[in-house]
Structure 1
Amino acid sequence: MNLIDRVVYELPISDHEAAIGLYVTGVGRCNAPSGVDYPQFASQETQKWSWDKGRILTQFELHFIVSGQGEFESATMGKTDLGPDSILLLFPGVWHRFRPSDSTGWKEYWVAISGDLVHRIVSSSEFTPSDCISVLNRSSGRLLIDSFERLITRVQDDLTTHSAVLSANVLELLALALDAEKNEQLVFFSSNGLRTDRIEDPIVAKTIETIWTRSHRPIPIGQIVSEIPTTRRTLERRFIDVVGHSILEEIVNCRLIRAKKLLTETDLSIRSIAVLTGFVSQEKMRKAMLSREGVPPVEYRAKTRS
């Protein structure tokens, strides 16, 4: 079996770094030769996935295909080809998979990022889950490569610290990527897998979109209702008819999906995870996890890491 030449770093995140609002959870480069089995992430638990099953992220990932060709498929875009200088901005909550062509292989860079600032930057851009691919011109591509290399070097210099400089480096990457942005219909998934573009009721589809783009911070149902042209009673009834559970349950489900990811893959404190995933308190998250998982957050973290 051919092996992928790769560099992968996963960063520890403290409460201080999380408070910045933009933090890096992983970064790397990959040179996959033709005919290689892809992906190959046997040593990094958080990067394990397969082409057959694909994956769903709870954070954003920015990928840049430097050379070679391949294919990408997601629940929101369907299948599409990838070529040199392609940018992928992968959204949390969206099933997807990608791989290089057997005949060409490819070289790629990637960074995994999260935080309130990332959500705000992306939500104000024109990148969407249904239009998450752009192509850079060669001069911009060179700038993106240089920025990725600076980020990797900074991480190599100190694997234990997530400095503000790393966050600034990621802002540079995002700025270069957003220069190539495009605009299409926004598509999201409910916690039980319903696609908003296949929901006939536009009010329910808009509610799911609002929940999944804002549930990283406290969002009262009344605030959602204020942005939807209907009453709360009507919205609750129509939401249950389509999705099968209440708006509040959807909000909690969304937050728990993200909280479980952070519990498993980071060393953030329980309090910080509660804040980052939109729970109004650590106790609220504890009760929600006890109700749905049968164990409190501390035990869930220990169980998933054992």
Structure 2
Amino acid sequence: MTLDRNNTLCYPGTGGHDEIWGMTVTTAGKQTVLPGSGYPLRSHPADYLFSTQKGRILNEYQIVYIVNGSGTFCSGNRPPRKVTSGSVLFLFPDEWHTYSPDKETGWEEYWVGFRSRHIDSIIAKRSFTKEDPVHNIGISTGIISLYEEIISVLQHEKPGHLQLVASIIIHILGSIYFKEKNLSYADTATIEKINEARMLMKDPECRLSTEGIAESVGIGYSKFRKIFKEYTGVPPTQYRLQQKLSKAKELLTSSMMNISEISYTLKFDNPCQFSIFFKNREGISPSEFRERNRMR
């Protein structure tokens, strides 16, 4: 339902096919709340209306993106949080919450709601938590475009539209996670050193140990391991092995080097050690991997 160009509410019907993909899309939209206006707008269905004093509990996830203005958010038994332009509010199923814009500023918001077994598993891995439901990522034209695309797709209701929206929601989640991770390290000298270390790890000619690489970039090893894992998602030793495996695949598929030459290029002690390393990770020998990829 389009109220005007600044206010669009979507509450799609659901069917069996969208649930097969592991996600049911329940709502999406955008609205502009002018300074001094009541909140929420009365145009929402009864199940979604709430008193900002009493709050509400939903049986779905919602991702609310504030793109202008400011306000307050509160969930669970945690104290109220200030919300500003660029804040993302993550609403969890069966979690009490309330939020509203400041009377002085109002706000502009986008939202999308859904139920998803896939997201349940992501939440279980602590990528997004009830303890930290507000994510300050700043204004992203890319994420705004994704919300706009969801609204457009839901309005046109073409075959497969709910499946497309489900994939866009995953894109939004990934974008929020990516932006928050990178903003937390933006423009720091330490991250420049971590990136320098990553370049060394990608270089087959580098004979330094992981501890030696940390020392060469001027970071103590325990601090290096901690920051490296936070930034890349994997410990430095595992990252280095991943790079070695990636380079091995590249050489096996795009060079005429034999197995012995590849093993020595990647600084293995001998071809046997290289073959064991490769098979443990890929389930097949380097020779089998090369043969399969030549057949494609």
Superposition TM-score, scaled by structure 1 size: 0.54
Partners in 1 of 2:107 and 2:34 — Cα distance?
Answer: 6
The alignment status of 1:144 with 2:143, answered yes or no, reads: yes
The letter for the 2-side match of 1:109 is Y
SS at match of 2:47: helix
* 1:32 to partner: Cα distance: 0.2
Residues 153, 161 of structure 2: 8 Å contact kept: no
Q: CA deviation at 1:116?
A: 0.7
Give the alignment of 1:1-306 within 5 angstroms.
6-138=7-139, 141-158=140-157, 162-180=161-179
Q: What is the distance in 1 between the residues matched to 2:18 and 2:100? A: 32
The offset of 1:171, in angstroms, is: 0.9
Q: 1:159 to 1:38 in 2, by over 3 A?
A: farther
| 1:180 CA displacement | 4.6
Q: Structure 2 counterpart of 1:44, which letter?
A: P
Q: Which amino acid aligns with 1:113?
A: F
Alpha-carbon distance between aligned partners in 1 of 2:98 and 2:86, rounded to the nearest angstrom = 18
Q: Which moved further from structure 2: 147-156 or 41-50? A: 41-50
Alignment partners' CA distance in 2, 1:103 and 1:9: 27
Q: Which amino acid in 2 is paired with 1:171?
A: I
Assess, with a 3 A threshold, how the Cα gap between structure 1 residues 159 and 50 changes in structure 2: closer, same or farther.
farther
Contact 1:21–1:117 (Cα < 8 Å) also in 2: yes
Cα distance change of structure 1 residues 99 and 159 upon mapping to structure 2, 3 Å threshold = farther
In structure 2, the CA distance between the partners of 1:11 and 1:161, relative to structure 1 (3 Å rule), is farther
- Where in structure 2 are there 5+ consecutive unaligned residues? 182-296
TM-score (norm 2): 0.56
Q: In structure 2, how many angstroms separate the alpha carbons of the residues matched to 1:159 and 1:58?
A: 27
Cα deviation for residue 91 of structure 1 reads 0.7
Higher mean alpha-carbon deviation, 3-12 vs 80-89, is at: 3-12
Alignment CA distance shift 1:43-1:108 (3 Å)? closer
Residue 158 of structure 1, CA deviation: 1.1
Q: Which moved more, 1:154-163 or 1:52-61?
A: 154-163
Q: 1:49 to 1:160 in 2, by over 3 A?
A: farther
User: Post-superposition shift, 1:43?
Assistant: 4.5
Measured against aligned partners, the alpha-carbon deviations of 1:156-179 in whole angstroms (never above 9, x if no partner) come to: 111886432111111111111222
Q: Secondary structure of the equivalent of 1:45?
A: coil
Q: SS of the counterpart of 1:38?
A: coil
Using the TM superposition, name which of 11-20 and 107-116 deviates more.
11-20
Instruction: For 1:155, give the aligned amino acid.
Output: L
| Higher normalized contact order (CA 8 Å, seq sep 6+, divided by chain length) | 1
Which amino acid letter does the alignment assign opposite residue 123 of structure 2? Answer: V
% same residue = 27
Where 2:80 maps in the other structure, the secondary structure is: strand
Task: Please give the alpha-carbon distance, in whole angstroms, between the structure 2 residues aligned to 1:28 and 1:84.
Answer: 17
Cross-structure match for 2:232: none
Task: Give the greater-gyration-radius structure (CA).
Answer: 2
**What's the CA shift for 1:70?**
0.4
Letter in 1 for 2:92: F
**1:23 aligned counterpart, secondary structure:** strand
Q: Report if the CA contact (8 A) 2:9-2:44 is conserved.
A: no
SS at match of 1:67: strand
Q: Which amino acid aligns with 1:68?
A: G
> In structure 1, the residue corresponding to 2:56 is in which secondary structure?
coil
- Specify the SS of the correspondent of 2:20: helix
Report the CA distance between 1:181 and its aligned residue: 5.2
Map Cα deviations across residues 175-194 of structure 1 (whole Å, 9 max, x no partner): 11222558xxxxxxxxxxxx
Contact kept in structure 2, 1:17 and 1:162, CA below 8 Å: no
Question: Do 2:18 and 2:24's aligned partners in 1 also have CA atoms closer than 8 Å?
Answer: yes
Structure 1 distance, partners of 2:128, 2:179, is: 9
Unaligned runs of 5+ in 1: 183-306
C-alpha deviation, 1:120, in angstroms: 1.4
Q: Give, in angstroms, the shift of residue 71 of structure 1.
A: 0.6
Cα deviation 1:228-252 (Å, max 9, x = unaligned): xxxxxxxxxxxxxxxxxxxxxxxxx
CA distance in 2, matches of 1:105, 1:151: 24
